[in-house]
Amino acid sequence: MPEEDLSLQLKRYLRNSGINLDDSSDIPQEKMLKLLTYIEKSYREKKKEVSILDNALEISSREIQEYLHHIEEKQIELWRSNKRYRELYENSHDVLFILDPEKGEIVDLNNRVEAMLGYTVDELKGRSMIGLFTDESAELMSFFFDVMQNGQGRRDKLSCKTKSGEKRFADISAFLIEEGDKTLVVAAVRDITKRLEIEKALYDTQLLADNRKLSRKLIQSLEEERRFISHELHDELSQTLTVINTTASLISRHSEEKRTIGYAAGISKDVKSIFDGFRNILNKISPHWIDTFGLLIALEKLIERWSKSSEVESVFKCSGELDQLSDIVNIVIYRVVQEALTNVSKHANASQVEIKLSVTRRKEGEQTGNTVQLDIDDDGQGDVLEVTDNITGLGINGMRERVGALDGTCIFNTSPGKGMHISIMIPLNHENMKQS
């Protein structure tokens, strides 16, 4: 490079850098080369530093962008988490209370409270939760004291009142949470009113089933005891009456005195009368005709004898497979007919009684099966009853108890001047059918 060119370039560079030199100044070539070399080296070093700084700035900018993107993702995740929490909070089947134990008031609660207690969220915010459990206030205060001591707790079957004053029952569980420098209580209140009602219904159903089983056993035991007494009386008294009758016959045959023969004949007649009355008593105690001839013949004989003694016309109709009934069903039907006829004799002032017994096919909802149906109608004076279930009396109550023990129904319909209608239905389930 020519010396003047170098000199001019150097001067121009120095001037641009703020160093003014006179154009006439003479800078030796050698010094100018050294100076240019130094400047070039400094320029390269500065350029390298600038490049490093640019790279560092580029890296920092990328990291900042990535960090900001990460923060944004976390914010979205937090928003979604809060949204899920709020949905769970609002859609919970329990009423969720957030309580401030220092102030003793409700800070927040979910909308489930309206379905359970009838209050809106705004109506309960700032109020005391204990006010909802007025009958259990002491128990609830003790519960929250335990929660503050132990961090959590639970109470079952506490009673509370709705906005309309209706009584409800609830289970309560609670635990502590920290929110900043404050400790809050989260209480979950679960409505168990329906569950308790179902449990009570199941208990009542089970109790009814147990009572029916007990009644069934009592009926069986009672009939067995009656059968035993009947047989014992029959064996003992029959032998005695037979001996008396035989003795009277011997006296009548071997005596020559008309007076003695007349006495003997009178004794034989009285013995026969005692026999007939005795058989009627024994049959009332235990209907041996059922064991000997079956239900139908036993009923025919019962109705026939009753019709003769009461002078009331009777009609007996039957249909269906009645030979499939169990012994206890046969006894219950016989006893119901027996008691119904007794009531007609005592109270109805009837001229005719119709008795129909059948086995029919029933269909109630999804339940199907055979049913024994017994209908007893008389044309008597009837009774003044507003509600037929108000019929009272040992005989009618006895019918209900006997039929109820077999899972059956017993309905009485009556009105003045229109007689009485008794309808009995007994399902032929496994227990009520004869076992082969």
What's the full length of the chain, in residues? 436
Q: Measured between alpha carbons, how far is residue 360 from residues 12, 185, 370 in Å?
A: 129, 64, 6
Give the span between the Cα atoms of 378 and 314, in whole angstroms: 9
Residue 397 pLDDT more than 50? yes
Mean pLDDT value of segment 85-101? 78
DSSP 289-335: HHHHH-HHHHHHHHHHHHHHHHT-EEEEEEES-GGGB-HHHHHHHHH
**Listing from the earlier edge strand, what are the strands of the sheet with 152-161?**
105-109, 95-100, 182-191, 167-179, 152-161
pLDDT band at 24 (very low <50, low <70, confident <90, very high): very low
What is the pTM assigned to this prediction?
A: 0.52
**What are the start-end ranges of the E strands in 15-122?**
95-100, 105-109
DSSP 252-279: HHH---HHHHHHHHHHHHHHHHHHHHHH
Residue 160 pLDDT more than 60? yes
- pLDDT tens for 203-233 read 887 877 777 777 777 877 777 777 777 767 7
- pLDDT tens for 165-205 read 899 999 999 999 888 888 999 999 999 999 888 888 888 87
Mean pLDDT value of segment 292-299? 86
The pLDDT value given to residue 374: 93
Write the CB contacts of 247 (distance below 8 Å, at least 6 apart in sequence): none
Longest dimension (CA), the chain: 202
pLDDT band at 52 (very low <50, low <70, confident <90, very high): confident
Residue 395 pLDDT more than 50? yes
Provide the CATH topology of domain 93-191: Beta-Lactamase (3.30.450)
- pLDDT tens for 372-391 read 999 999 988 876 443 334 34
Q: Which CATH class is domain 287-436?
A: alpha beta
Q: Which of 12-21, 63-72, 263-272 has the lowest mean pLDDT?
A: 12-21
- pLDDT tens for 246-295 read 888 888 787 778 888 888 888 888 888 887 777 777 777 767 778 778 88
pLDDT band at 40 (very low <50, low <70, confident <90, very high): low
Chain-centre distance for alpha carbon 8: 109
The pLDDT value given to residue 354: 93
Q: Measured between alpha carbons, how far is residue 311 from residues 11, 302, 353 in Å?
A: 158, 14, 11
The pLDDT value given to residue 423: 92
Give the span between the Cα atoms of 198 and 157, in whole angstroms: 14
Give the span between the Cα atoms of 40 and 53, in whole angstroms: 20
The pLDDT value given to residue 362: 64
Higher pLDDT, 90 or 99: 99
- pLDDT tens for 322-373 read 888 888 888 889 989 988 888 888 877 888 999 999 988 765 544 557 889 9
